[in-house]
Amino acid sequence: MKKITFLLFVLSFSFSFSQTIIEGFIFDRETKTSLPYATMKIISNNNYYTITNEDGKFEVSDKFILDSLEIRFIGFKTKKVAVSYFREKSKFYLTPNTFRLNQVLVVAKKDKNYTYNLLNNLIKKYRNKQTITKSKVFLSLTSSARGIPIETIEGFYNSKHNVSKGIIDLKLKSGRFGQNASFPFYSLNNTDILKDFQFFKKHNQILPLYPGNLSLSAIKGKYLIKIDECISCNLEDISISFMPKKKNGRLLSGTIIFNKEQLIIKKIIVSGENLITDRLSSIIEDDTVTPKSMLLNINFNPNDYDKIQSLDFEFKMNYRSKDNFEIITSHSLLYFYDYNTSFNAPYFTNNINFNNDYDKIRALQASDEFWSLNYQFPKSYKEKMSIDFFKKYGYLINYNTSIPSEYLQFIRPSIITWQENKSLKWQDIKLSLLKNKESTIDHKAYKQGATKAVDKEAFSISEFKQKSNKSEIDEQLNFSYMLDAYTNKLGETQFSTKTLFDRNASFCSYNRINHKLMYINLIFDVYEIYNRELKTELSKNRSFEEAKILCEQKFNEATLIIKKMAADTNKGTSFQNLIRWSEKVKVKLAN
């Protein structure tokens, strides 16, 4: 009966929540096709913005029902419509601008240097732009091979960007992802590619260069530049296209759409095939990635063109692993919003050097409330299909709490989160932080926590004493608390904490006996006990800064108890005292 009651509660909650959302689609009146990533501005005191998804769909709260929407899409007439319109109809149509042949085209045909000089003036202006904008960022990424989903990722970030340098900083707040169980593939280094791409600076970057990265003489030597008739432009805009004179994979083609009189860029499109790139490799060390083609749309905010609105990136690659070869298509969208604001950055009592963002996602909070309150636009049809696929044929990390052990070997986790009834094993703990050339140990395997040699070793107490060398440090164990915060729909601060074991900064060299492993797990448990006390005290009304102080206090209290346990048990070698401590810790955890 309890299960039925709970199900009815969930259904009623979902229904009531759905009533607070108004949704619709934006279409091209002439072609009757949807317009992805159109800009939606609520005309009210809130200055709320959103965009349509790749299907042209948007969602807004019905608290804006008395307001109007201003809809912008480059090449189309800006329109305003009452939000209430979408209570009755689901589609709204934008009308394309009527193209007029610009006199600039005539001038450009007469003067071959005119287009080069115009482009160079534009580039010089943007290279001098210094303003740095901070904002929140939402990431949506899907990857597939032969039409079959192999990965999906969603993430929230804090960022800093500049229209000259591009993305200056991108730090993860929270994320979740899904994987195909039969094909371990990881494309989150797409964000590294986009962070590295310089809009108008001379730079040795991962992707090939384009005119924004070159001098005028280099552009003239390497590129054909022309002004195009631009059907998708507004009347005051022109389009300059650029194509390498020699297609060798080291230069990108593309288009820049901008206002000629004011030299204001509205959109940059760059593309390339058979790319030659630097510093691009697979997260799985033995697999190889060969870029096939890419398309990057850089969209500036139509309400303030000195801010980035989105980066829309499609990347095709040849991917070769030990077992197979695939052509993979990865599509990612970075959407920048809530300018001049940011999330509270996750806090750690000890600094952790994460291997990658997959690794970090596992350490961070991913509450359903945080995601429902911060989601920026509805999932596309493709994204929903991917999620459904991974529910049946893969894994969903932070959508649920299931993390298969065979999956972890690929992302080489730097942390392990405390979990009830799941203890640390010797294969989770490195022998050393350094590679010893004289050692026969496979340190590459230790880096991934898959140490077969260690699994077979079990030293007795007498062997441990013979091997002990007081002049050398034989162990280093690093634990940490993660503290995170978000604001709920009532405006209240909600906290999330986790107890973490930092594998990258920890090791236990040769005293790998059962008693010692039991002792290490007791340390983990003691930190978790004080973490639970932290959670209880954080339920009171506190600021994030106050919460950080309390987090440090509880961590230090736990550390003092652990020092006492270390002295009583001789760091795990005194079995009777170890058993006594184990019983005390079990009682505390059970309460």
Which pLDDT tens digit goes with each residue over 166-194?
999 999 999 998 888 888 777 767 888 99
User: What's the confidence (pLDDT) of residue 359?
Assistant: 84
Average pLDDT value over all residues in the chain: 84
Domain boundary among 94, 120, 155: 94
Structural domain boundaries, residue 464? 414-590
Over 70: is that where the pLDDT of 538 sits? yes
Do 461 and 331 share a domain, yes or no? no
Q: What letter represents residue 513's amino acid?
A: I
Whether residue 217 lies inside any domain: the answer is no
Do 383 and 419 share a domain, yes or no? no
- Going by the DSSP 8-state scheme, the letter that residue 540 receives in this structure is S
pLDDT tens column, 242-253: 999 998 899 999
Name the nearest CA neighbour of 231 among 345, 356, 99.
99
Percent over 90 (pLDDT), the chain: 53
What is the torsion angle, in degrees rounded to the nearest 10, for the CA atoms of residue 410, residue 415, residue 421 and residue 425? 70
Listed in order, strand segments (DSSP E) in 412-502 are 415-417, 475-476, 479-487, 493-502
CA-based end-to-end distance of the chain: 28
Whether residue 194 lies inside any domain: the answer is no
Whether residue 259 lies inside any domain: the answer is no
Whether residue 188 lies inside any domain: the answer is no
User: What's the confidence (pLDDT) of residue 322?
Assistant: 79
Token pair belonging to 203: 């730079």
Do 477 and 524 share a domain, yes or no? yes
- Whole-prediction pTM: 0.85
- Number of folded domains that form the chain: 3
Please return the burial class of 340, using the count of CB atoms within 10 Å of its CB with bins 0-12, 13-18 and 19+: exposed
Whichever domain contains 65, its CATH number is: 2.60.40.1120
Do 137 and 75 share a domain, yes or no? no
Strand, helix or coil for residue 550: helix
How does residue 123 score in pLDDT terms, banded at 50, 70 and 90? very high
Whether residue 36 lies inside any domain: the answer is yes
What average pLDDT score do residues 404-409 get?
56
Do 377 and 525 share a domain, yes or no? no
Percent over 70 (pLDDT), the chain: 85
Whether residue 176 lies inside any domain: the answer is yes
DSSP string across 209-267: B-GGGS-HHHHHHHEEEEEE--TTS-TTEEEEEEEESS-SSSB-EEEEEEETTTTEEEE
Do 450 and 390 share a domain, yes or no? no
What average pLDDT score do residues 486-499 get?
90
Do 395 and 420 share a domain, yes or no? no
Whether residue 506 lies inside any domain: the answer is yes
Whether residue 268 lies inside any domain: the answer is no
